A = this chain, B = another copy of it.
């Protein structure tokens, strides 16, 4: 039976096995990010991970389970940092809407632009999950809880605002963040011939846009 479905206790998997599994997950993350779920093939993943095809199924299970595994692998790290930052804001007490939005956006943003190709790939995978209703359940499990918390805290602080509009502003912000991770080529194409652009500048630009957009939604709702 494939290990992915095994529930019973296994002891001491070999170092080699552990390393292979890591390589497979990393390779799958890159390939899914580059090719999309349907465009990615188990063969591509195996080749990238330098293992045999059969081992991808052995360690990762069926293709869709492998994808879910990839999404889940980094989701809790993100959620945890988001929650911790929100909790710190609550303790401090004097946060504003921009602080809360940054608390949600920064954890993924800084990782995706930290020159770690795996995290940049993960951002693209989040974009795939967000754009395709087929992964609705995955988004509900891994991302919606903290996002709902943000919406709820904003609505408590700005009781005149329409919750649907606040939720809209958060979704628009996240989609803008993901666009920055997946479509920097488009921004460069529209900027003119030789605009230089560093990651910090792009992030500042994004947060400026989203903070102002959210403020606009909150204020005009009052």
Where the two chains meet, the residues of A that have a C-beta atom closer than 8 Å to any C-beta of B are: 35-39, 127, 130-133, 136, 139-140, 144, 147-148, 151, 162-172, 174-176, 178-180, 182-183, 185-192, 195-197, 201-202, 205-206, 208-217, 220
| Cβ–Cβ contact A216 & B212, under 8 A | yes
Contact of A212 among B38, B180, B215 (CB under 8 A): B215
Contacts of A127 in B (CB 8 A): 131
| Cβ–Cβ contact A209 & B213, under 8 A | yes
Provide a sorted-by-A list of 28 A–B residue pairs whose CB atoms are within 8 angstroms.
A35-B38, A36-B38, A131-B131, A131-B179, A139-B186, A139-B189, A148-B189, A162-B201, A164-B188, A164-B202, A165-B201, A165-B205, A166-B191, A167-B188, A167-B190, A167-B191, A168-B180, A168-B187, A168-B206, A172-B176, A174-B179, A175-B175, A175-B178, A175-B179, A209-B214, A211-B216, A212-B212, A212-B215
Contact of A216 among B139, B196, B209 (CB under 8 A): B209
In the complex, given contacts A38-B38, A167-B187, what are 20 additional A-B residue pairs having Cβ atoms less than 8 angstroms apart?
A: A36-B36, A131-B183, A139-B186, A162-B201, A164-B188, A164-B191, A165-B205, A166-B191, A167-B190, A167-B191, A167-B195, A168-B202, A171-B179, A171-B186, A175-B178, A176-B176, A208-B217, A210-B213, A212-B213, A213-B213
Complex CA gap A2/B214 in Å reads: 52
Contact of A209 among B140, B172, B197 (CB under 8 A): B172
| Cβ–Cβ contact A130 & B216, under 8 A | no
What's the least CB distance linking A174 to chain B, in Å?
A: 8
Contacts of A164 in B (CB 8 A): 187-188, 191, 195-197, 201-202, 205
Complex CA gap A188/B151 in Å reads: 12
| Cβ–Cβ contact A192 & B163, under 8 A | yes
What's the least CB distance linking A162 to chain B, in Å?
A: 8
Complex CA gap A75/B104 in Å reads: 35
Contacts of A37 in B (CB 8 A): 39
